[in-house]
Structure 1
Amino acid sequence: MRALRKTLMVFGSGILLSSALPAAANYDQHPRVNEFIAEAAAEYKIPADDIRQWLAQAEKLDSVLAAIARPAEKVKEWDEYQDIFLTSKRINAGKAFMKEHAALLREAEEKYGVKKEIIAAIIGVETFYGTRQGNYRVLDSLATLAFDYPDRPLFWRELKAFFALAEAEQINPATIKGSYAGAMGYGQFIPTSFLNFAVDADGDGRRDLWANPADAIFSVANYFSKHGWKNGEAVTQRVHVSGDKYEQIVNDNLKPNWTVSELKALGIEPTEKVSDEKPANLIRLQGKHGAEFWLGEHNFYVITRYNHSRMYAMAVYQLSEALK
């Protein structure tokens, strides 16, 4: 029996809902549903009847549409943003998490070449070390966004991938919970990231990012490794600026597309030793005491592959430093 035809399947302790399904939104009758089903069937070989069955059970959530319109990164400056993620509570919980999972973090660091503090910091920022994984049914969130959100292509793709991962992992899609945007588990992987980067760390035949810390930790490390993390290299450092030439390139790109020597010529001076030939860019954040200037190096850019926000990357970096 195909996974999508099953009424209930237990997969870990943290992702099951009550057997009562929410009120349907008739997504199985949406004007574009046949197009969606055809694409998912062709791309992932999922039977059309399975997809239609689960879309019939999806609920439209207005709360999801409201939440997607106001992500935290667009309404806060760094001086506020850091107060969310760099608290003593989160730091202390992170140290406890690292102590509890010291062996797993060490193994992941050795296998993937990604600092254990960075792995822990990602999980700490995303879900407070697995304790806040989201209370939305991912089926509802992604169906709402795929069919009722104006910027559909991203979520259209993620909904197809969601059905594919449920099929691959033998999970009933109506039981999976996550964020309003369809991110799941300790590390809040979206479905395409799950398919591409989730790993079965303990060899039990499942990639359980919801209830298995080993799979979650190794998957985050694998994500960073596949996105080019350079073990032993710096992430960022404070810099001083002078004159006004630097204004033309500040925050111009997430990717480091200047050399340090080129930045120096524009009045940017590092505070730590760094090669003149190293790729970097100039970051400006509005801190509690005014503008802060930072050198965005390659590994800082890699963090932004997880979330395309300078403030997010800075929060991860500074939390990782506090966890050392």
Structure 2
Amino acid sequence: MRFFLPTPSRTVAAVALLAACCAWSTAAVAQKSSNGRVASNAVRGTIPYATRDDAMRFADEVAERRGLDRDWVRATIGNARFLPNVPRLMLPGPVGTVKNWQTYRSRFIDPVRIAAGVRFWRANADTLARAEQVYGVPAEIIVGIIGVETIYGRNMGNFRVIDALATLSFDFPQGHPRAAEREAFFRGELESFLSTESRTADDPLTPLGSYAGAMGMPQFMPSSIAKYAVDFDGDGRIDLVNNPADVIGSVANYFKAFGWKPGMPAIYPVHFDEARLQKGLLLAPDILPTFSIDSFVAAGAVPEGEGIRHKGLLALIELQNGADAPPTYVAGTRNFYVITRYNWSSYYAMSVLDLGQEVKAAMEQ
């Protein structure tokens, strides 16, 4: 996948895409029965969004807003297809499901992923060192992210990005508690994807990614590609699928943009002063660092080691371990919060930290 290449003419591509849409429309019309309904073999999962008025209105709005070729935008969205499994994947888990940190951790920290991380680090050691120098983000954080996301490019997703984004833009599950907000988010991502693809020579129907439309080794969403992806090896293009240098630089740039503080630990061990403990107060802000070290200790949470001298704000991070074991607690700094800007989950952030540390330890053996 190539990004930010010189703008080519879109005429040939638009004509080809429109022809495909027209061919489907003709076939669909031919399949209509006497009562006007599409025949049963034209099920929703095979119908392109060219037949949807809301999708075509959105295409026209995007073309006008972004100054893009209207026929190309209509044809691109029109060739997207509804993915029936994707809306179900976006729904939250059943109410009352108890999280389990040890189970979650085991999905990402295992010998296969650690060994892959060692190979990736050794192959890209100079680039990782340069990224840390330029952006201030340690190699183990970058290695942890790429490993958790795709096992260093092994699992980058097999959904067509245009299909995933269109499905979540026009058929987001209304049973989701934040359906309107999330639908608007994915429409923004679809618009960003179209804007980026319009500046490349690639077929916009080709890119593959996750069921949410994330792409490449770091699983960037389209808007993140537009804002944070960098040409870190200076070859004149940004490639997050095949070029580890661009991947490393882009991840580091992402963290710097969200406020990563060089030299600051992401977490500290913590123990409780039971006599003063106000756990409800400490957990109320969730993962957002809110407490000074004095207010943190006053509420009964005491960071260990260097944590007791921490200068910034802290959050109490709770990681549940199922119904039969006590939770795990750590004190999270601003840098822990920055990791959650990649994926808004304390379990995710801890997995990134743990994988990075495991790979670093294996490198030193």
With normalisation by structure 2, the TM-score equals 0.79
Alpha-carbon contact 2:283-2:317 (below 8 Å) kept: yes
- Describe the SS at the equivalent of 1:2: coil
Alpha-carbon contact 2:279-2:299 (below 8 Å) kept: yes
Deviation at 1:5, TM superposition (A): 4.9
**1:131-168 superposed Cα distances (whole Å, 9 cap, x missing partner):** 10000000110011101113311111110011111123
Match status 1:61 vs 2:118:
no
The 5-angstrom pairing of residues 220-299 of structure 1 reads: 220-243=251-274, 244-250=277-283, 252-274=285-307, 275=309, 277-287=311-321, 289-299=325-335
- Describe the SS at the equivalent of 2:235: coil
Give the whole-Å Cα distance in 2 for the aligned partners of 1:257 and 1:4: 53
Give the whole-Å Cα distance in 2 for the aligned partners of 1:276 and 1:224: 21
The 5-angstrom pairing of residues 16-165 of structure 1 reads: 25-70=47-92, 76-149=99-172, 150=174, 151=179, 152-165=183-196
Give the whole-Å Cα distance in 2 for the aligned partners of 1:140 and 1:109: 36
**1:172-217 superposed Cα distances (whole Å, 9 cap, x missing partner):** 2101000000000000000000000011122222211111111111
Match status 1:6 vs 2:23:
no
Match status 1:186 vs 2:220:
no
Give the whole-Å Cα distance in 2 for the aligned partners of 1:315 and 1:251: 22
* Matched residue type, 1:50: W
Deviation at 1:285, TM superposition (A): 0.8
Q: CA RMSD in A?
A: 2.3
* Matched residue type, 1:285: L
In the alignment, which residue of structure 2 is the partner of 1:170? 201
Alpha-carbon contact 1:25-1:56 (below 8 Å) kept: no
Identical amino acids, percent of aligned pairs = 38
**1:26-64 superposed Cα distances (whole Å, 9 cap, x missing partner):** 423323234412432244222221111112211110111
> Which ranges in structure 1 are unaligned for 5 or more consecutive residues?
8-20
* Matched residue type, 2:303: P
Give the whole-Å Cα distance in 2 for the aligned partners of 1:31 and 1:323: 50
Alpha-carbon contact 1:200-1:206 (below 8 Å) kept: yes
**1:257-285 superposed Cα distances (whole Å, 9 cap, x missing partner):** 11111010011111122336420111111
Over 3 Å counting, the alpha-carbon distance change for 1:2 and 1:67 in structure 2 is farther
Q: Which moved more, 1:81-90 or 1:269-278?
A: 269-278
In the alignment, which residue of structure 1 is the partner of 2:226? 195
In the alignment, which residue of structure 1 is the partner of 2:355? 319
In the alignment, which residue of structure 1 is the partner of 2:3? none
Give the whole-Å Cα distance in 2 for the aligned partners of 1:307 and 1:213: 21
Over 3 Å counting, the alpha-carbon distance change for 1:3 and 1:71 in structure 2 is farther
Give the whole-Å Cα distance in 2 for the aligned partners of 1:127 and 1:71: 23
- Describe the SS at the equivalent of 1:91: helix
- Describe the SS at the equivalent of 1:82: helix
With normalisation by structure 1, the TM-score equals 0.89
* Matched residue type, 1:312: Y
Give the whole-Å Cα distance in 2 for the aligned partners of 1:226 and 1:4: 37
Higher CA-based Rg: 2
* Matched residue type, 2:306: K
Alpha-carbon contact 2:13-2:72 (below 8 Å) kept: no
> Which ranges in structure 2 are unaligned for 5 or more consecutive residues?
1-7, 15-23, 25-44, 361-365
Deviation at 1:252, TM superposition (A): 2.4
Over 3 Å counting, the alpha-carbon distance change for 1:210 and 1:30 in structure 2 is same
- Describe the SS at the equivalent of 1:6: helix
* Matched residue type, 2:47: A
Write out the 4+ residue segments of structure 1 that deviate beyond 3 Å after TM superposition.
Answer: 1-5
Q: How many residues align?
A: 310
* Matched residue type, 1:320: G
* Matched residue type, 1:132: N
* Matched residue type, 2:9: R
